[in-house]
Amino acid sequence: MTNIAFSNNGNSPFEQLIGHNIGILEQWVKLEDIVIEASSLHPALLEQVRRTLAFGNECEYCMVKAGRPNLKKENIREQLATGFAELYALDHKSITAEHFTILKEAFSEQEISELCSFISFISASQKLGRIYNLTEEFQENKVVKMAELST
């Protein structure tokens, strides 16, 4: 059971929870589209960051969508991006200029800006899902169960 009732607006359970105000829903979806589709970052990298954040933000709905991150050890950009995302989720106040210096070794400033915007937007979405108690049972596209993630 979610902490508020679903509205009649939106295409997913998450959207139906924020859809009580259609203006917020429309702009949220629009921003999501821009943050993801207009990014110069590879979609696979963004997906690994999203998965990393799901676990850091403890969003069950998001965790079961695709499971744990699947990082390739040889992909330094994924390693840096997911490491930064994990730090953001767990303790964003500990991020320093040195973290950005490290990111600049593999990313342009445009890419860092896009990465930070993506991380912030996805974290906000996942934290909303968490506080609304949007659990595994509402994820229509899940590929894994929470019980499997606990092992």
Name the one residue in this structure whose structure tokens are 């040889």: 74
- Cα dihedral sign, 22-128-48-118: positive
Q: Which residues contact 108 (CB under 8 A, 6 or more apart)?
A: none
Domain ranges of the chain: 13-145
The structure tokens listed for 95 are 């991020």
- What is the rounded distance in angstroms from the CA atom of residue 9 to the CA atom of residue 137? 19
CB-CB contact of 45 with 117 (8 Å)? no
- Global pTM? 0.95
Max Cα distance, the chain (Å): 46
Third-level CATH fold of 13-145: AhpD-like (1.20.1290)
At 17-64, the pLDDT tens digits run 999 999 999 999 999 999 999 999 999 999 999 999 999 999 999 999
